[in-house]
Amino acid sequence: MAKPVVGVIGNATMINDRFNVQIVGQRNLRAVADVAGALPLMFAGMPEVTDTDALLDSVDGILLTGARANIHPTCFGVEPDPRHEPYDQSRDAVALPLIKVCVKRGIPVFGICRGFQEMNVAFGGSLHPEIRELPGRMNHRMPRLENGEIHPDPEVVFADRHDVQLTADGVFARILGRDKICVNSLHGQGILQLGERIVVEGVAVDGTIEAISVADAPSFALGVQWHAEYDPQTNPINRALFEAFGAALRTRQQSR
């Protein structure tokens, strides 16, 4: 049997301050190929060229990746602030309606970091632009050197940094077979108010929501705030999530 196909959303990026391109991090593609056992197919986060119906007729699932750009605040009723740029409104316009269509049709969808946040916003939830500014919250952004530059070693940047307590007998607890995990942390935005049908599946030690599912979704519809795509080849937690995604993809493929 041919491998299932996963649509992996692209992100708008400017190269050399001149060329507009769509990009996907290679670790997302390798996670899909190596662990989910599927063929990754990048699609543009551009509503003018991406036909959702045609896309979903061609794939068995969707991966919503992390990205540097934040979700535009107007998507959840807040005025934008230049301090929280950049934004990628084209991706917003593709991803947010796409999520609801996937859930409705039973098409597996896995949201990572920005994708996790998109899932919450798609169902009417809101975000805080800098979760570390809330009382009692830790700094969830990536490690930096004393001079403010991002740490040059990816192993330090993506190292596990805090625990997540999983909801007892929740979807994640059942997939992972445990009630507590340790994850990496590289985000500014975070969930403020939960969207309708969004179920909390895991919470960091400071109260930040880290894992979610969509209530009554007919197929895989999970999101994680951490970067699960970084090391699922070696990390048993992230491997189990991508394997569960892969199983859902094959079920969808067989039903088509």
| pLDDT for position 247 | 98
Going through 134-197 in order, the beta strands assigned E by DSSP cover 162-166, 180-183, 190-193
Q: Is 183 helix (H, G, I), strand (E, B) or coil?
A: strand
Q: Is 73 helix (H, G, I), strand (E, B) or coil?
A: helix
Exposed e or buried b per residue across 33-54, where buried means at least 16 C-beta atoms within 10 angstroms of its C-beta? eebbbbbbbbbbbbbeebeeee
| pLDDT for position 155 | 77
| pLDDT for position 110 | 98
| pLDDT for position 215 | 97
Reference 186, options 214, 159, 206; nearest CA is 159
C-beta neighbour count of 11 within 10 angstroms: 20
* N residues, the chain: 256
Half-sphere exposure of 140 (CA within 13 A, CB side): 31
Q: Name the pairing type of β-strands 162-166 and 180-183.
A: antiparallel
Q: Whole-angstrom Cα distance, residue 209 to residue 37? A: 28
Q: Identify the burial level of 17 via C-beta atoms within 10 angstroms of its C-beta, where 0-12 means exposed, 13-18 middle and 19 or more buried.
A: exposed
pLDDT tens-place string over residues 102-142:
999 999 999 999 999 999 999 999 998 877 777 777 777 77
Contact predicate 211/222, CB 8 Å: yes
| pLDDT for position 50 | 95
| pLDDT for position 158 | 74
Known catalytic membership, residue 113 = yes
Q: Whole-angstrom Cα distance, residue 118 to residue 80? A: 16
Which residues in the chain show pLDDT less than 50?
none
Number of H helices and E strands in the chain, helices first, is 7, 13
Q: Is 153 helix (H, G, I), strand (E, B) or coil?
A: coil
Model-wide pTM > 0.75: yes
Going through the chain in order, the beta strands assigned E by DSSP cover 5-9, 11-15, 19-23, 39-43, 61-64, 109-112, 126-128, 162-166, 180-183, 190-193, 198-204, 209-214, 221-224
C-beta neighbour count of 4 within 10 angstroms: 25
Q: Which of 84, 113, 118, 210 is labelled catalytic?
A: 113
Domains assigned to the chain: 5-255 (3.40.50.880)
| pLDDT for position 139 | 74
Q: Which of 84, 140, 187, 227 is labelled catalytic?
A: 227
| pLDDT for position 84 | 79
Known catalytic membership, residue 229 = yes
Reference 76, options 61, 92, 99, 55; nearest CA is 92
| pLDDT for position 159 | 75
Q: Whole-angstrom Cα distance, residue 67 to residue 97? A: 18
